[in-house]
Structure 1
Amino acid sequence: MNSLSERRALLLRMEEARRQTQHQLDLIDRQIIRRMTAVIPQLHPRRNSYRHGKAPEPATFLARYRANLAAITAERQQEIDALSRKLARQDRAISDLRERHGAASWS
């Protein structure tokens, strides 16, 4: 790989692959957020206790929210971990390529 154009093409391909991996991670994040948004109305306690003089307990809602978030995230954790490792490898490969050929050669 001697030519500058070949190195640039390789770098562009590597950066595009990294963007796709990041996009997949972002997509999973949005899916988890969407599922949590759908679950939130079910987490609110019934209001009949408030009518009897007791205010709803905010800590209870927060505990339910965290438990549901943990469960939903756990379902996708293996996929998240695999994509995170892949992203780290891609970052290292891009930085190694840039280091090996020097920053000045990319201009």
Structure 2
Amino acid sequence: MRSYFEQRAMLARMEAARAETERRIAIIERQIAARAERMTTSSRVKARQFGHASTTGTRADERDVQANIAALRFERRGEIEALDRKLARQAGAIAAFRVRYRVSVPEREAAP
């Protein structure tokens, strides 16, 4: 049987690892979005009207960005899926730990 402080420390480590995995997924998503934007602007070399009433983004640009995002996600799907599986395992381990040691969920996590 672990002491209360050991349980809390272990739970904190588990939650920190889960947060790090979530950060990695967010970083990958931001990288994909940024690269898709760059790919779109570099592939759509066209004369744009610059001035007071002009716009720099068109519907076609947005479609291209979304297509590039889908393609880049497909390329990195192995990494994303592995992190998603790891995140699910970590969430399950934290839930099991809470049940086993009867540790309640903090109020900030319990609220939807």
For the superposition of Structure 1 and Structure 2, which TM-score range results when normalised by the shorter chain? Answer: 0.7 to 0.9
TM-score normalised to the size of structure 1? 0.74
The alignment-based identity, stated in percent, is: 39
Choose between structure 1 and 2: higher helix proportion. Answer: 1
Q: Deviations over 1:26-53 (max 9, x none)?
A: 1101100110121232454856xxxxxx
Could you list the runs of 4 or more consecutive aligned residues of structure 1 that deviate by over 6 angstroms after TM superposition?
A: none
Q: Deviations over 1:60-101 (max 9, x none)?
A: 545433332221111111000000000010001101111111
Verify: 1:5 aligned to 2:2, yes or no: no
1:97 equivalent in structure 2: 97
Distance 1:95 1:24, change over 3 A: same
Contact 2:14 2:90 in 1 (8 A): yes
1:60 and 1:2 map into 2 onto residues whose CA distance is 60
Structure 2 unmatched ranges of 5 or more:
48-57, 107-112
TM-score normalised to the size of structure 2? 0.71
Q: CA RMSD in A?
A: 2.4
Cα drift, residue 25 of structure 1: 0.6
Q: Which has the larger radius of gyration?
A: 1
Distance 1:62 1:2, change over 3 A: closer
Query: Which 10-residue stretch deviates more, 37-46 or 67-76?
Result: 37-46
Q: Which has the higher contact order (CA 8 A, sep 6+)?
A: 1
Structure 1 unmatched ranges of 5 or more:
48-57
